[in-house]
Amino acid sequence: MRTRLASLLGALALLAALPTPSVAAPAPAAATTTTIELKVVGCNGCRVLAIQNVGGAVTYQSATERVKKHRVTLVVPTANTPQMAIVVFARFDDLAQAGFPMVVMVGWKGKDPGDSISNRWAQGVHKGSGCWAGTTDPVVKNRLVVSKVQVRAPSLGPGHFPAAAGHLTKALPALPFFANRRASEMHVEDPSICR
């Protein structure tokens, strides 16, 4: 019995001396929400929301947030950021008040994500997009510039009407690129623009 006990204790001592396999730390979980933090110029009091479109149908709509002290924050599911548009209802925008909200231009053909977009450049005619390609980042920070412009709107009648034009000052990955347009020309009745 003593030899068996000694053998067992020896085997246990030998096992204790062996290196134990390391257990890998779990990989960090992907973000489940993305916080979009926008510094807003020219649109204090505006209402802003994010809308995702898949296959021509709105599949997600964030809560509407009001711009306060030149800032607005939207918290959206990260999985819903692909094909997402940021929509603005400005008090001075006759088109938005008639149900045609302004879609923020987030990307431009020929501009890489992260490139700076000046007001002057955005006011020119370029191939632009209001359709964000999405992110896996937990936080996205940018600056939204909203300008008051005059546009023709046959649906509202003859003449010109005050409208909002908006763009981000740092380009985001975006698709599809629409026809040549100024930022002010992106107003839609149905915000499902990311097809």
Residue 21 counted as domain residue: no
Give pTM, 2 decimals. Answer: 0.80
Is residue 171 in a domain? yes
- The answer to whether residue 193 is domain-embedded is no
Residue 47: inside a domain, yes or no? yes
Q: Is residue 57 part of a domain?
A: yes
Count of residues in the chain: 195
What are the angstrom distances between the C-alpha of 28 and each of 31, 32, 81, 109, 128?
Answer: 9, 12, 20, 34, 35
Cβ–Cβ < 8 Å for 127, 177: yes
3 inside domain: no
Query: Which one is predicted more confidently, 165 or 6?
Result: 165
Instruction: For residue 93, give its domain range.
Output: 31-185
As separate numbers, helices (DSSP H) first and strands (DSSP E) second, the chain gives: 3, 12
Considering its fold, how many domains does the chain have in total? Answer: 1
* pLDDT tens string 136-163: 999 999 999 999 988 888 888 899 999 9
**Amino acid letter, residue 42:** G
Q: What is the pLDDT of residues 15-28, one digit of tens each?
A: 344 444 444 555 55
